[in-house]
Amino acid sequence: MLTRIVLFLAEVVCDFAAAMFLARFILQWARVSFRNPIGQFVIAVTDWAVLPARKAVPGLFGLDLASLLLAWLAQLAFLALAYAMTPLGLVAGGAGNMILLLASALVEVLRLVVHLAMLVVLVSAILSWVNPYAPLAPFFDQLSRPLLAPFRRFLPPIGGIDLSPLVLLLALQVLLMVLDGLRGMAFGVAL
């Protein structure tokens, strides 16, 4: 029971940290201003790790690779802890398991990206229907616009209603199913 509690708390902390690092990466990728409550929160939570990491990991094409690497390392830390706390993890090791842990951390980061994209699209759609003049509505609209643009090219509004968020959410859900399948295969082998 103590193992489950420790793993639960470690997962919450590592997922939160990875989500914040990914949010910082995504905000910079989408060129969204950090001058809003969410952007300020993300900066306040992640500066302690991102600023030193940027000295070792330079950006590329305007992308903050340090934040992306930190998100992956947060997921890797949890997976390594979970693996080490299993009975087989204490005795079994090797390069194959390490490669599997590295790949599993990548899958976890991709799952988190999909979840964040779903959250952004849902909040943007709800705000556009309920209160399009809310202070954070432009922030979420600016974040969701690059995700929705490919779908809006092929799916024009029908009767004045934009169905592209619904189609994007369905596509993200299918992608999440694929990633969950990869996750299940990796955890079945590793743990």
Binned at pLDDT 50, 70 and 90, residue 143 comes out as very high
Q: How far is CA 107 from CA 17, 91, 178, in A?
A: 16, 25, 10
Range of the domain at 177: 2-190
pLDDT the model gives residue 94: 60
pLDDT confidence band for 186 (50 / 70 / 90): low
Which tokens go with 179? 């990633």
Global pTM value:
0.89
Q: Does the structure show a pLDDT above 80 at 76?
A: yes
- The predicted model gives 8-16 an average pLDDT of 96
Average pLDDT of the residues of the chain: 90
Cβ distance 42 to 24 under 8 Å?
A: yes
Torsion of CA 127, 128, 133, 139, to 10 degrees: 70
pLDDT higher than 60, residue 191:
no
| Distance, C-alpha 85 to centroid of its chain | 25
Structural domain count, the chain: 1
Does the pLDDT value for residue 151 go beyond 60? yes
